[in-house]
Structure formats: C-alpha cells, structure tokens
Structure 1
C-alpha cells in the first residue's frame, strides 16, 4: 500500500531527483519545495519557498505528511571565500530552523523528518574507521558547519515527528554528483592518485543512497545515521578502479600543489579531494540493511 505524502525540500537537484525517482511509486503524493516556480509536472507538485525565514503558504503542505526530507544547502563545491562560507552555513541553518518552526506549528505534523547532514563531520582519519558511536568529530570550517547544522535540527523538540540526520558521503550517480567530473578526469588520463593518494574516500551508489533512506523510514531509525558504503577505499585505489572502468590504461598522478592550483582555477577547494573520510555505516548494518553495491567494482560496473 502506498504511503500518503512525501515532501522533499530542495528536491530539484541531483539527490532530490534520485529520491523522487525511487519514491515515485511508493507515495500517493510527492511535493517538492523549491526556489523555482510553483507548478505541477508529471504528477509531482512543486511549491515555491525561499528556504530561509519566511512562511508563504508552503508550510501548509507539511500537514498530514508521512515523510519530510530536507536536502537544502549551498554546494560546497566552491571557493571558501568569506561570502561563500556564510552562504554554506546559513543555507543549512536557516532552512532547518524554518522547517522546525513549521513542523511545530502543524496540527498533524510529518511522521518522520530526515535532514541532510554530512560524513565530513568526522575528523581527517587514516588510522580509524568512524562510526556513529565512536567517530571523532573534528574542528575546522566544514566540520563546524556540520555540527551547527545538526544542532539546529535536533535542538527543537518535535514530540510527534521522528528525526534522523543523514551523514551522507559522496553519492556516485550517472547524472550528477562527483562521479561525472571524476570520470571525465579519468578519461583524459588524469586518473592517478590525487595528492598522497592514501586518504580514504567514503562513497555510496545512488541506488543504495535511496534504498538506505527508504530503509530508515521503514524501520523508523532516528538520531544520526552514516549513509556510506561498507568499505572506505583509498584515493589511489579509487582512481585506479575508475580509470580501469573507463578503459584508460595510463594514469597521471596529480600532486597536492597542482591540485591546489587547479582548485583555484576551477573555483573549488582541494580539501574536497584531500580530506580522508574514513566512515562506515555501522547503524545501517546493525539494523540489517543489505547494500546492492557494497564494493566500488560493482558500483562502477553499474555506472559506466
């Protein structure tokens, strides 16, 4: 039997589309909160909101919702200028706060609210796998944003709404996310290690991302959940497998200095590639979640 109503805040991007496609047949009604115009397209209702501090009618859609998923947040794929840093932080905090306000005002609030967070909340780690219980929270701009984000989410009590923070890693998908530019690099022979190459990458296939969220809803898992595949892989091995999957036999490694110069040119930050994200999905596995793409080889075979 189909559930009643799913709301996805900021659902027009890559991850929003992945979730919309996955849940299309599972909910009678899907509503996307968007900064774009309000419209109905392919049975999906798009409702305009500013993702900041204003109620403008969108908040009424939360009444009687089964599930609310909030994906709002400026992309971190940019230079960390003062202006961009402020936007990265505020886009996450303000949208979460106004949704908290809206949920607490509902007569019949959403049964379960899943809010984006990030696996970047854990410190740089070569030595230890980070799970939800024993993972060590770090202290730099990205980690502090993640902590503030989760604090804004959990601080307001919502007695009739379950809450889950999704500590998501790099999601690999055919039509978006990090996979597309990485694949392009590999095709041009630039698929060697980046920097030292020993830093870990935590990743998840787009199908497992959607399936994990579905699983969290079905099992009513609350608190923080790492949305990552079971085995982090070093950057060196990740790039080697990627190059092999696109059929490029030769690879050029990219030094840390070159990465930093290149990052300035393409207006991004080298930390997105150089940070070691050594994160595992302990809670998902404890609940018995089965990954379809548990290894990078399987994921790349499917995506290539």
Structure 2
C-alpha cells in the first residue's frame, strides 16, 4: 500500500511508520521539519505541492494536533483547536483536487470526548459526550472531519486512549515517577485509565484499514480499563518498588503549574470500551494491563 501519515514524526507516527514499512508498504510523512527521504514539507494550514503525494494513495492517516500536555492558557487553547481543525480542513481541500483519491482516511480523535466516568462504560453506541474544553475540541474535530462526505473515501475517527510504549508517550514518565518512589495514587485514585499497548494500536489501525465495513468514530483502547490506583500498584510491582507516595489533588495542582501541564490529564476518569473493534473480530495481543506491562517492563 501507499500510506501517507500527516504529522508522522511523533510517538504514534514513528511506530505506525515502522510497522507498515516492515510489512513492505510505502510510507510518506507530512511534516514541518522534513529530514529523511520519505518526508515531505507541509505547514498543516495551507495547500501546497505536498498535496500531490495524496494522488493514488491507499491510506491517509492524520495525527496532526498540538499536544494537550500543556497549560490551558488562551494561546495554547487556540493552538490546540486550530492545529486540529486547520490540518483536517486543508487535507480535505487537497483530497478534493485529487484525480485518484485515497481509499481510506483515518483521522485522530480522542477517548477524552467522553465525560468523566467512574461507573458508566462508554462504548461508541452508548458513550456520554459532555461539554467542556477538551470534549468540545474533540467534537469540533470530528465535526470538521465528517463535514464533507466523499462516496469513494471511507472515513474513520480514531478515539484513542492513552497509548503505552517504551519509546514515547506517557509510559516512560510513569516509569520514572514509579522508580523515584512517587508511584502512589494520584488524587483519589478511583479515576479509570483507558489504555492500549502500542503494538495493539498499530494492529488496530491496520485492522481498520483492511475491514471495509468499519467507518465513523471508533474507540481505540484495550477492553479492560483499570483505576489509577490499580495501575500504579501494578507498576510498582513490575519494578519491584515497595512503596509509592500518594499525590493529593492540591499537590497535583501545584506541581502542574511547574510542569506546565494540566491535572485533567491525570484526574479525568476515562472509562472506555472498544465495542466496535471487538464486534468486528479484532483480537488484542495485550487485552489486560498485566500482559501489557509484562511486555513493556
């Protein structure tokens, strides 16, 4: 296949690129800082020559968007929003000029689209979508993505949970905190953590590409979320660290200022289930946290 990954130089993009290259596919990366032969410049805002690479592509994967791991200042909020909406909009414009359009377009979204939920398990069908900054970003993102229908292009929004891998994302930070003896529960510890192993993330993306019946919004998460307290306990056991200091909310609020992040990333309860993936027959290599940590640690 000919696969285009927009913003493919980050944690998820690099892993997807390597995964598909190892299977003999041609992978091209759209990036602001091209350094390799298969990387093409784009600014994620304006049409340009980069649009030519979309001709005769089998798959387009768009991962563009400013990281939410920052303080939610007005400037950062605006950039979080515009980076997602503008990139999706300009990709649609480029596709509309193609003679031979990509067959499948996968656009990033987030499991954060669902409300804080400690009891209710959010599937694609019964998930409760709320109204705050983060959820509204996701709603606007998906609305822009699905706004224009192309009959010959299958569109899928990836509502991805926390992706666990050794070479980026949240997992190395969690490991560092645990090894320093700070791996206790954060806040009350009863907030749910929805997660997926990086290998299963890549396999799920491939599964969606290959299964023509899958379209619309889909949860990309392992089928067994667990509480923050349980996750930290299993991390401590994995590293054989006998203790971990708990971090009450007030401490996290202070720490988040110095770390230039938001407590929502730790304290929101993401309780999400991949119903559509499961019904389609996808089999997880790492369905529970024990198998995932057994591989990663």
TM-score bin (small chain): over 0.9
Residue 38 of structure 1, CA deviation: 6.0
1:22 corresponds to which of 19, 22, 31: 19
Residue 65 of structure 1, CA deviation: 0.2
Per the alignment, residue 63 of structure 2 pairs with 71
- Measured against aligned partners, the alpha-carbon deviations of 1:219-258 in whole angstroms (never above 9, x if no partner) come to 1211011000001100000110011111101111110000
- Counterpart-to-counterpart distance in 2, 1:277 and 1:242: 19
Whether 1:120 and 2:112 are equivalent positions in the alignment is yes
- Counterpart-to-counterpart distance in 1, 2:119 and 2:11: 32
2:215 corresponds to which of 211, 222, 233: 222
Conserved 8 A contact 1:243-1:249: yes
How does 1:138-217 map onto structure 2 within 5 Å? 138-217=130-209
Per the alignment, residue 246 of structure 1 pairs with 239
Residue 39 of structure 1, CA deviation: 4.0
- Counterpart-to-counterpart distance in 2, 1:113 and 1:28: 16
Conserved 8 A contact 2:178-2:236: yes
Unaligned runs of 5+ in 2: none
How does 1:64-103 map onto structure 2 within 5 Å? 64-103=56-95
Residue 301 of structure 1, CA deviation: 1.1
Residue 142 of structure 1, CA deviation: 0.2
- Counterpart-to-counterpart distance in 2, 1:124 and 1:11: 29
Per the alignment, residue 283 of structure 1 pairs with 276
Per the alignment, residue 47 of structure 1 pairs with 40
| Closer, same or farther: CA 33–155 of 1 in aligned 2, 3 Å | same
Conserved 8 A contact 1:173-1:206: yes
In structure 2, the residue corresponding to 1:47 is in which secondary structure? strand
Residue 55 of structure 1, CA deviation: 1.7
Q: Which moved more, 1:18-27 or 1:233-242?
A: 18-27
In structure 2, the residue corresponding to 1:90 is in which secondary structure? helix
In structure 2, the residue corresponding to 1:6 is in which secondary structure? strand
- Measured against aligned partners, the alpha-carbon deviations of 1:158-211 in whole angstroms (never above 9, x if no partner) come to 121110000000000001000011110000111111000000000000000000
1:265 corresponds to which of 231, 254, 258: 258
Residue 135 of structure 1, CA deviation: 0.2
Per the alignment, residue 132 of structure 1 pairs with 124
Q: Which moved more, 1:99-108 or 1:79-88?
A: 99-108
- Counterpart-to-counterpart distance in 2, 1:150 and 1:27: 31
In structure 2, the residue corresponding to 1:186 is in which secondary structure? helix
Unaligned runs of 5+ in 1: none
TM-score (norm 1): 0.96
* Root-mean-square deviation over aligned CA pairs: 0.9
- Counterpart-to-counterpart distance in 1, 2:246 and 2:65: 32
In structure 1, the residue corresponding to 2:144 is in which secondary structure? helix
Residue 25 of structure 1, CA deviation: 3.0
1:9 corresponds to which of 6, 11, 18: 6
- Counterpart-to-counterpart distance in 2, 1:255 and 1:115: 36
- Counterpart-to-counterpart distance in 1, 2:120 and 2:95: 38
TM-score (norm 2): 0.98
Residue 49 of structure 1, CA deviation: 0.1
